[in-house]
Structures are given as structure tokens and as C-alpha cells.
Amino acid sequence: MALKEHKTPLLDELEKGEWPSFVTEIKNCASKNEMSNDLLGLLEKSYRERIGFWKHGGIVGVMGYGGGVIGRYTQLPEEYPNIEHFHTMRVNQPSGWLYTSDALRKLCDIWEKHGSGLTNMHGSTGDIVFLGCTTDDLEPTFADLTEAGFDLGGSGSDVRTPSCCIGPARCEWACYDTLAVTYDFTMHYQDELHRPAFPYKWKFKMSGCPNDCVASVARADISIIGTWQDDIRIDQDSVGEYSDNGLDILRDVIMNCPGKCMEWDGKTLEIDNKTCRHCMHCINAMPKALRPGTDTGAVVLIGSKAPIVEGAIISSVLVPFWKPEPPYDDLKDLMDEIIDLWCEEGKARERIGEFIQRVGMGNFLDAIGLEPEPAMVAYPRDNPYVFYEDAEEE
Amino acid sequence: MPSVDEIADGMYKMVQDAQGQKKLKPTGLQKAMMEMYGVDKKTCKLAIRALVDNGRLVYSYFGGSFLELPPDGDK
Ligand code: SF4
Ligand code: SF4
């Protein structure tokens, strides 16, 4: 049967120019898939009338799981019957997003068989996102996914699919094995991932160094960011080469050092490592000459979130230096303390960062049994938390 | 101490009684059972898991995650 043709003059504008266009991709799918075709029509109408004709939520999912499927329905099912249901499925991505081409083909085949064929690789959560599934197709899709070795990820008030940067798989700056920690945490928190039982969402994100390629400091409830305790390694010959090749070390590196801890006399680069803020700027500017130290581990931070119910929050330091050693029980025990407290005392739709703001960091640390220390800062060097016991105030 | 099945029945009754009036969260059900029967979190989690796995309750999402009776026809 021929597909209904939707005129799309506004969307066509988004195909002009040199860059890739999501409209082109939807059109590719629309030529052979009636869901994608109706999506194109609805999207054009949304652009024309400046209204999103969607509603989401409700009772929708696969048997036994409370996460992984986000119910979506068009408000105009008579006009666009093929997207009356257009649910999103979140599929747990492999750590670091490493695939074989065979695995990618399998995912696409499954999705073309059951859904719109449209994917989002990857969503901001990190998951493989399948866009557009009917309620009836959820279980068959899930069955084919599990057959291929994949599982659904998190959604709703649960542990969201942990995600990480590519870390030591390809990146020389990785200060710990982000892939191993992410895989381990994903397996450890399976129950919490599939069965929502929290006041709101909970995200773990792992970055191998302070470049924080997964932006964990801005959007994860627990950010685990690689760092080092000793000195930045310097290869003075390579520093000289950068200078000889035209890098203005004084202007582009030294002057931009937030710790003001570098000196360059034209021959030798010196770093006062005690005041280094581990921002990675100098290392990024001269990657052949500078490297993180060798005593590596991670900083564990807590409480960031994007602005949804309340405004945005950046993470604060919780554990100034953590040495990740499998099975990571020290950190998991701390997480259990925090999650228990939050489940007990947190309000509905209150992220852990908001909870800490409400009860106060001092009370929070007290309740989870963690001793405050000066390195638990919200911003480097700027505002250490200082706590006074009642007895000391008297 | 009540068994997982008994806790599951207690939770199911709470959801049934609240149906149409109030949506109940898994944490709320867990707290209620812990107070009523003195059971631990693990038992409550297993009870929820059993209820969802055998289809007596389903998860829903309305700004937060809730447990509900399945829609008519799914029962
Ligand atoms: S966060 Fe650091 S270790 Fe991870 S990919 Fe980015 S630069 Fe590499
Ligand atoms: S890492 Fe940042 S703070 Fe440290 S020396 Fe380099 S530029 Fe300065």
C-alpha cells in the first residue's frame, strides 16, 4: 500500500546546508515505514503550529520491568494513526559505546522489524534509544533484544543506565578503568535499574579524567571522575618542541592556568603541583609533553542535575580520592547508605542534590556516617565546608 | 515473621484499596509493610518483584514511578 504523502516545506529547510540532517534520516525511514512517515507529517504540523502534539507516561513497559520504556502517544491519533503509540525504548549500551558492526546490524534489524526504524545513538542518558514502538511490539522487541544479548536500560525513578567515557580502551588520559567500573555497577544495580523504587532518578556517570567527557559533573547524581595525587609528568624536550613549533606557551598555557601554578622561562617548564587544580588545560594544550601523574584514582562527587523540577546543580566533592579496586565494595557500601537515607527522607521527585541542599551538607554527611574534611569542596579552593560542633561553639 | 507471599498480598491489598483514589509508590508500600509487619527491605523488594513478575501489579509513570493494578483486560 502506498504511504500517505505529507508535504513538509518547513522541515525541508532543515535539510539545506552542509551538515547532516535529522529530517533526511526521518525521510529515509519514512519511505518504507508508515510510523516514520506519520512522524514526518506530525513534525511538520508542530513546526507550523508551534505546538508539540505529544503526551507521555502511563502504564507501558515489558513484563517484570518498571524502566526502559517511556510511553509516548500523539494527541492526534485520527490524523496520524500510525503514531498513536510511539513509545521510546532505552537499550543499555555497552560501556564506552564499543560495538562490533555485527552487533550494530543486529540492533538495526530488530528495530526495523518491530518499530519505526529510527534510533538515537546515543540519547543524553547514554542508552541506545529506539524511537517509536507500539505497545503490542514492546514484548517482541524485548525478546529479540535479549536474544541478541542486549537488555533494557533505566527510566523513571530508578538507577539510570550507568554510562562512562571510553577511558582506557582508547584514551591515554584515563586515570582509572571507567569501563570496568561502569560494567560492574550496571550488573550490581540490576534490581534498582529495572524496578523503580526511589524518590526520583539516580545517575552514575564515570569519566576517566577531569576532562569529564560524559559531563558527569553537570548531570550525574554520582560523578566518578579520574584524577591523580602525585605530580604531572613533564617531558621538557617535548615542551621545547611545542615552543619551537609556534605554540605561545606563556599566552596559551601559563596564562590560562587557573591555579597560577606554572612557570616557563623559555627553556624549562615548572609546575607547583601543590596548587594545581587538575583542570587538564595544560595537558590538553601539550599532550605530547605533559601527562597526569602515576598515582591515579578518582574523585567521587555527588548531587548534580540538569534543570527539570528545580534549577541546575553542579556536583560537590564527596570522596576526594578513591582508589577503584574491584569489587568496589567500599563505594557501593557508601552508595547504599546514601540511597537508604534518600529513600527514607527524600520527597517525591527530589534529586539527591536537592535533598542535600534541603537538609544541609553537614546533616547529610552526619547521617551517612562520613567524616567531613576540607577537600570536600563545591569548587576548587573556593569554599571548603566548615563544620563546628556545638561544644566548640560554646 | 510474614513470608514474601504474605507481604506481597498486603501490598496488593493496599494498591487495590487505593485504586482510583491515590497512586502508591514502591517506597510507600515498602515503608508501610516495614511498619506493619517489621519486615526488612529485602523482603519488601522480593514481594514487589513477585507482584510485578506475575502480573498482579504493573509499574506506571506519571512524573514518578508508581505501582498499580494492570489496566482492564490485562488482569
Ligand atoms: S574523560 Fe578523560 S579519560 Fe575519558 S575520554 Fe575524556 S579525556 Fe579520555
Ligand atoms: S592542570 Fe590546570 S591547574 Fe594544573 S598546572 Fe595544568 S593548567 Fe594549571
Given a cut of 90, whether residue A56 has pLDDT beyond it is: no
Going by pLDDT thresholds of 50, 70 and 90, the confidence category of residue A206 is very high
- What mean pLDDT do residues B66-72 have? 89
| Domain B4-74, CATH number (from 1.10.287.1400, 1.10.10.10, 3.60.9.10, 3.40.50.300) | 1.10.10.10
Average pLDDT, chain A: 93
> CA of A51, closest CA in chain B: separation in Å?
21
**A-contacting residues of B 17-46, CB under 8 Å?**
25-27, 30, 41, 45
Distance CA A294, CA A310 (A): 40
Distance CA A15, CA A317 (A): 44
The residue of A59, A347, A349 whose CB has the most chain B CBs within 10 angstroms, and thus the best one to mutate to test that interface, is A59
Ligand 2 mean position, distance from CA A387 (Å)? 29
3-state DSSP percent of chain A in helix, strand and coil, to 5: 40, 20, 45
A233-291, which class in CATH?
alpha beta
Distance CA A26, CA A367 (A): 51
Query: Range(s) for CATH 3.30.413.10 in chain A?
Result: 163-228+296-376
A163-228+296-376 has which CATH code?
3.30.413.10
Given a cut of 80, whether residue A39 has pLDDT beyond it is: yes
* Predicted model pTM: 0.92
- What mean pLDDT do residues A352-374 have? 91
Given a cut of 50, whether residue B73 has pLDDT beyond it is: no
| Whole-number percent of chain B with pLDDT over 70 | 96
Amino acid found at A35: M
Collapse the DSSP code of A65 into the 3-class scheme (helix H, G, I; strand E, B; otherwise coil) and give the result.
coil
> CA of B65, closest CA in chain A: separation in Å?
5
- Look up residue A205 and give its three cell numbers: 556517570
Going by pLDDT thresholds of 50, 70 and 90, the confidence category of residue B75 is very low
Triad A299, A301, A305: Cα angle to 5°: 145
Domain A69-147 matching CATH 3.40.190.80: the answer reads no
The answer to whether the complex's ipTM is over 0.85 is: no
Q: Read out DSSP for A132-154?
A: EE-HHHHHHHHHHHHHTT--B--
- What mean pLDDT do residues A55-75 have? 92
Query: Tens of pLDDT along A262-295?
Result: 999 999 999 999 999 999 999 999 999 999 999 9
Distance CA B10, CA B55 (A): 16
Report whether A196 contacts A157 (CB < 8 A): yes
The residue of A157, A343, A351 whose CB has the most chain B CBs within 10 angstroms, and thus the best one to mutate to test that interface, is A157
> Ligand 1: residues within 6 Å at CB?
A 165-167, 171, 173-174, 207-209, 211-213
Collapse the DSSP code of A364 into the 3-class scheme (helix H, G, I; strand E, B; otherwise coil) and give the result.
helix
Residue extents of the structural domains in chain B: 4-74
Please state which of the ranges A112-116, A152-156, A201-205, B59-63 shows the lowest mean pLDDT: B59-63
Higher pLDDT, A57 or A197: A197
**B-contacting residues of A 178-197, CB under 8 Å?**
191, 195-197
Among residues A180, A171, A247, A242, which one has the least CA distance to residue A209? A171
- Look up residue B17 and give its three cell numbers: 484499596
Query: Range(s) for CATH 3.30.70.2500 in chain A?
Result: 69-147
Give, using CA atoms, the residue closest to atom 7 of ligand 1. Answer: A211
Query: Range(s) for CATH 3.30.70.20 in chain A?
Result: 233-291
Going by pLDDT thresholds of 50, 70 and 90, the confidence category of residue A376 is confident
End-to-end CA distance of chain A: 84
Distance CA A187, CA A193 (A): 9
Higher pLDDT, A213 or A123: A213
Given a cut of 80, whether residue A385 has pLDDT beyond it is: no
